[in-house]
Structure 1
Amino acid sequence: MKIVLCCAGGFSTTMLMDNMKKIVHDSKKLDEADFEFKAIPVDLLNAEVEDTDVLVIGPQIAHKIDYIKPIIDPYHIPHVIVDKDTYGKMDGATVMKMVLIAKKKADMNK
């Protein structure tokens, strides 16, 4: 599963991505080989969208959802918008749960 984290510049999102990787690494249920993570600025989304399984949107660009949706909707890519509290805590576990739920819902609606 390719998870793309999208924010304004890609810097703080890299820290969240590292925490998400650690959650997967430490998990007894999840296999690291099943996951690929990438943190990008929103401006590069067009280049990454084709093989993305779930898009994680940082709170600092939540207002850009009207820009993002036309890019991801043709590919039927589920997305989650991380709230500022979860993001501020760099809570990788909560974001991974959000990602897995979004992916499962998307798969059920196919």
Structure 2
Amino acid sequence: MRIVLCCAGGLSTTMLMNSMKDTVHNSAKLNDADFDFIAIPIDILQSEADNCDVLVLGPQVAHKLDAVKPIIEPRKIPYVIVDQETYGKMDGATVMKQALIARRKADLKK
């Protein structure tokens, strides 16, 4: 599963991505080999969308959702908007759970 994390510049989201990687690595149920993560600035989402299974948006770019939807909806890519508290804590476990739930819901709609 490829999880694409977007923020304004891709820097702070890299910290969240690393926390998500640690969550997977330390999990008894999840396997590192099943996940691929990338943190990018939202401005280059179009170039990464074809290889995206779940999109994670940082709270600082949540207001750009209307611009993101035309990119992700035709591809049926589920998304998660991380709330400010979870983002501030760099709580990768919570975001990972949200991403897995979003992907599962999308799969059930197929």
Please confirm whether the aligned pair reaches a TM-score higher than 0.5, indicating the same fold. Answer: yes
Cα deviation, residue 100, structure 1: 0.4
Q: Distance in 1 between matches of 2:64 and 2:44?
A: 13
Matched with 1:26 is 26
- Aligned pair count reads 110
Matched with 1:65 is 65
Matched with 2:48 is 48
Runs of 4+ in 1 over 4 A off after TM superposition: none
Q: Please report the TM-score for the alignment, with normalisation by the length of structure 1.
A: 0.99
CA RMSD in angstroms comes to 0.3
Matched with 1:7 is 7
What is the identity percentage for the equivalent residue pairs of Structure 1 and Structure 2? Answer: 66
Matched with 1:95 is 95
Please state if 1:85 is matched with 2:68. Answer: no
Give the unaligned 5+ runs of structure 2: none
Q: Please report the TM-score for the alignment, with normalisation by the length of structure 2.
A: 0.99
Give the unaligned 5+ runs of structure 1: none
